[in-house]
């Protein structure tokens, strides 16, 4: 019976099924949240990492059971290679960066796959459940933090002669008020140094709105 199990690689089958389960749980949460890296993406990454880790641990074994070479070489390439996939989910537009959580999820799903592929089932299951809790359970806390009032300093470069009212109107439209202001006129631009107050999540949106206007050259928020 043991010979049959060894020949059919039932241990690998268990690893791959567990990778599908853990990658699927995390991917399902991402799918429900409407993220670009959803159910199938996370399953495939987790399964691929599991398979490569299994190959990595077995490829250096001789018939006598001794090991030749470093079993971590293939796994190391997975860690660096999955970064290219993660980078593809990060987008930057008008000063706003999105997709960082999706990229981090892809990276940690690959790590879970490597863990399962190495045969550390308890650690892989524990990490998978913890990641699912972080993504799903802490979402409400993240939304609360992003709604919390925040005071920041901002530097806004605009076209020469741009009135402050144009900047203030855009900020007010996104729930942000100006608490203090200084204006500097230069030969090529007009710079506003402002103290702003408003919901945390609105600053990125307001920045994108300002940068979409022709008379705004740049926005920097500390």
Domain ranges in the chain are 2-137, 148-221
Predicted pLDDT of residue 65? 65
Q: What is the mean pLDDT of each run of 10 residues along the chain (222 residues)?
A: 62 91 90 81 92 83 68 80 79 62 89 91 93 83 73 91 90 90 91 89 85 89 82
Exposure string over 197-220, b if 16+ CB within 10 A, otherwise e: ebbebbbbebbebbbeeeebbebe
Predicted pLDDT of residue 102? 84
| Tokens of residue 36, six digits | 């670009």
Predicted pLDDT of residue 7? 56
Q: Is 94 left (phi over 0), alpha (psi -120 to 50) or beta?
A: left
CA dist 183 and 192 (Å) reads 5
User: Quick check: helix, strand or coil at residue 207?
Assistant: helix
pTM (predicted TM-score): 0.65
First to last CA, the chain: 65
User: Quick check: helix, strand or coil at residue 197?
Assistant: strand
Nearest C-alpha neighbor of 211 from the set 167, 147, 161: 167
**Cβ 114 vs Cβ 50: under 8 Å:** yes
Predicted pLDDT of residue 19? 94
Return the residue matching tokens 């408003």. Answer: 198
H or E element in which residue 125 lies? helix 121-132
pLDDT in tens, 112-154: 999 999 889 999 999 999 999 988 887 777 677 667 788 889 9
Exposure string over 19-32, b if 16+ CB within 10 A, otherwise e: bbbbbbbbbbbbbe
**Measured at the alpha carbon of residue 144, what is the angle toward residues 139 and 146, in degrees to the nearest 5?**
95
CATH class of 148-221: alpha beta
């Amino acid at each position: 019976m043991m010979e049959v199990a060894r020949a059919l690689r039932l241990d690998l089958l268990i690893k791959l099924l567990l990778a599908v389960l853990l990658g699927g749980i995390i991917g399902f949460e991402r799918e429900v949240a409407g993220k670009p890296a959803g159910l199938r993406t996370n399953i495939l990454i987790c399964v691929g990492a599991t398979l490569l880790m299994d190959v990595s641990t077995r490829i250096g074994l001789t018939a006598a059971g001794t090991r030749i070479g470093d079993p971590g070489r293939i796994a190391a390439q997975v860690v660096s290679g999955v970064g290219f996939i993660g980078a593809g989910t990060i987008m930057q537009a008008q000063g706003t960066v999105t997709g960082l959580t999706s990229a981090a999820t892809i990276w940690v799903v690959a790590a879970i796959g490597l863990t399962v592929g190495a045969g550390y089932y308890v650690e892989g299951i524990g990490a998978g459940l913890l990641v699912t809790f972080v993504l799903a359970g802490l979402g409400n806390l993240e939304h609360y933090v992003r709604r919390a009032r925040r005071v920041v300093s901002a530097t806004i470069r605009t076209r020469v002669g741009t009135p402050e009212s144009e900047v203030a109107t855009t900020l007010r439209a996104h729930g942000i008020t100006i608490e203090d202001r200084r204006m500097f006129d230069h030969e090529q631009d007009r710079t506003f140094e402002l103290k702003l107050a408003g919901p945390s999540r609105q600053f990125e949106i307001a920045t994108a709105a300002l940068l979409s206007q022709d008379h705004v050259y740049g926005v920097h928020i500390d």
